[in-house]
A and B are shown apart, each in its own frame.
Chain A
Amino acid sequence: MNVLEFTLLIFAVSGLAGFLGALTGLGGGVIITPVLTLLFGVDIRYAIGASLVSVIATSSGAAAAFVREGFSNIRVGMFLEIATTLGAILGAILAAKTPTSALAVIFGVVLLYSAYLSSRPEMEQRAATRADPLAVRLRMDASYPGPQGPQAYHVSRVKTGLGLMFGAGTLSGLLGIGSGALKVVAMDHAMRLPFKVSTTTSNFMIGVTAAASAGVYLNRGYIDPALAMPVMLGVLLGSILGARQLFGAKPRLLRIVFGLVVALMAIEMIYGGLSRRI
């Protein structure tokens, strides 16, 4: 296989990953790293670098649409980004000190957990009845476009959310993923944001979080342009096409199948790490 064939193949696989990732809501970047390491034998550090770049592309692209529709809470996002960016730098530094086999195991565990989270039905949390005083001071309470006009909501447990976000940022920097699932959990369960708001705000934050670790990755030589090029273009194109197909509804069967594929890859990553093949 020469460079041209390899690049086209990576482009096609990344396109498929981006398409399925957007359709199922799991995100395309999260399966790029296992695909590159398991199927193409790419060193996990190059794979993580390429995946991170594609995460910035898809999240910024998607955020552009959501922000304009007024779902994202920019104040909440901005405030929590203090924690996610600091976490991301810590994670990226840790990534350089962690053996690749350990990275593979951690990656597999996080992947398994994300697949589990996304397989559950989207439950709307009980709305917060009163706001955290800190949230009031930070003017976080807002409203979003609902079926019957703007729906106002409160924000609770800001400090807990901030702590969880530091963890999400660290994982993002360590593994080159968006860790959108974890961000949504923090905003859903701790801060009690409405589901649509937490999903879109998380998406809004992923780009900035990933940019923080991308700087460290770039300086360490993890981002190979010739590998990142087909991955980024493929995932971006695939996710744009996937989002067009979507219109809000997520095909259930596809989600289950994709979830199983992801779980299988997760187990393979854990096995590969434990047996020191990665």
Chain B
Amino acid sequence: MSSSNRSWTDERVEHIIGSLLRDGVMLAAGVVLVGGIVYLIRYGGGRPDYQVFRGEPSELHSVSGILRGILSLHSRSIIQFGLLLLIATPIARVVFSVFAFALQRDRTYVIITLIVLAVLLYSLLSGPVG
């Protein structure tokens, strides 16, 4: 507790982060469920095939591809969008932390948090690496 009269106390930040995580997971689960039901109605009678690894088609393995698939209401794209929301939930927590630390005037932790955010965004948006 370095500065005395800040309204953004650690407790308040913790409370907001808690709600953010819970709501993000619930929203993601809801979207995945909707996509899953549509998928099962359309393809429930087919044969499952996961024994041989082929990798997902391009419209399911990039952020832009998934967003395009959503517009054409593909069931697998809807599920993948839900999973993307799930991945985005901890990232949103990090984004919020940047602002929270900034409001607390905690420069060291703003920098630390920005480094983590940069690593996360690199992983998600850089395409296949390595």
Once the chains bind, are A60 and B60 in contact (CB under 8 Å)?
Answer: no
Among residues of B, the one whose C-beta sits closest to the C-beta of A212 is: B123
Contact B13 A74 (CB under 8 A): yes
B53 contact from A43, A63, A97, A139, Cβ within 8 A: A43
Out of A7, A63, A233, which one reaches B32, CB within 8 Å?
A: A233
Are A229 and B39 also in contact (CB < 8 A) when A2-B46, A211-B87 are?
A: yes
Give chain A residues whose Cβ lies under 8 Å from the Cβ of B122. 89, 215
The CA-CA distance from A227 to B54 in the complex, in Å, is: 14
A215 touches B25 (CB 8 A): no
B86 and A232 within 8 A (CB): yes
Docked CA distance A212–B9 (Å)? 28
Question: Min CB distance, B37 to chain A, in Å?
Answer: 10
B74 shortest CB reach to chain A, Å: 9
- Given the known interface contacts A2-B47, A57-B29, A75-B109, the answer about A214 and B87 at a Cβ–Cβ threshold of 8 Å is yes
Q: Which of B89-130 touch A at CB < 8 Å?
A: 89-91, 93-94, 97, 106, 108-109, 112-113, 115-116, 119-120, 122-130
The answer to whether A78 and B113 have CB atoms under 8 Å apart is yes
* Contact B128–A232 (Cβ < 8 Å): no
A228 to chain B, nearest CB (A): 6
Indicate whether A229 sits within 8 Å of B32 (C-beta atoms), given known contacts A60-B24, A221-B56.
Answer: yes
Interface membership of chain B positions 1-38, coded 1 if the CB is closer than 8 angstroms to chain A and 0 otherwise: 01000000011011101110110110011001101100
Chain B CB within 10 Å — which of A1, A41, A56 has the most? A56
B50: contacting residue among A4, A43, A211, CB under 8 A: A43
Closest beta carbon of chain A to B29's beta carbon, Å: 6
Q: Of B2, B50, B62, B126, which contacts A227 at CB under 8 A?
A: B50
Residue of B nearest to A209 (CB): B90
User: Chain A contact residues: over half helix, strand or loop, or mixed?
Assistant: helix
Q: Which of A53, A78, A93 contacts B97 (CB 8 A)?
A: A78
Q: CB distance B91 to A211 under 8 Å?
A: yes
Residues in A whose Cβ lies below 8 Å from that of B19: 64, 68
**Interface size classification for chain B:** 35 or more
Is A40 in contact with B22, judged by CB distance below 8 angstroms?
no
CA distance A43 to B51 in the complex (A): 5
Residues on A with beta carbons closer than 8 Å to the beta carbon of B93: 207-208
Contact B11 A223 (CB under 8 A): no
Q: Across the interface, which residues of A come within 8 angstroms of B2, CB to CB?
A: 139
Q: Are A78 and B76 also in contact (CB < 8 A) when A64-B18, A221-B60 are? A: no
State whether B120 touches A215 (Cβ < 8 A).
Answer: yes
A-contact bits for B35-70, CB 8 A (1 contact / 0 none): 110011001111110111111110011100000000
Q: In the complex, are the beta carbons of B116 and A2 less than 8 A apart?
A: no
A133 contacts chain B at the CB level, 8 A cutoff = no
Would you call A64 and B22 a contact (CB within 8 A)? yes
Closest CB in chain B relative to A104 CB, distance in Å: 13
Chain B residues with CB under 8 A of A67: 14-15, 17-18, 21
Contact call B53/A45, Cβ cutoff below 8 A: yes
Sampled A-B contacts (6; CB under 8 Å): A46-B53, A211-B120, A212-B123, A216-B130, A219-B126, A219-B128
Query: Which residues on B are within 8 Å of A, measured CB to CB?
Result: 2, 10-11, 13-15, 17-19, 21-22, 24-25, 28-29, 32-33, 35-36, 39-40, 43-48, 50-57, 60-62, 76-77, 79-80, 83-84, 86-91, 93-94, 97, 106, 108-109, 112-113, 115-116, 119-120, 122-130
Besides A218-B84, A225-B56, 5 new A-B residue pairs in contact (Cβ under 8 A), listed by A number: A42-B51, A45-B53, A57-B28, A89-B119, A139-B108
Q: Give chain A's interface residues, CB within 8 Å of chain B.
A: 1-4, 6-7, 36, 40-43, 45-46, 53, 56-57, 60-61, 63-65, 67-68, 70, 72, 74-75, 78-79, 81-82, 85-86, 88-89, 92-93, 96-97, 137-139, 207-208, 210-216, 218-230, 232-233, 236
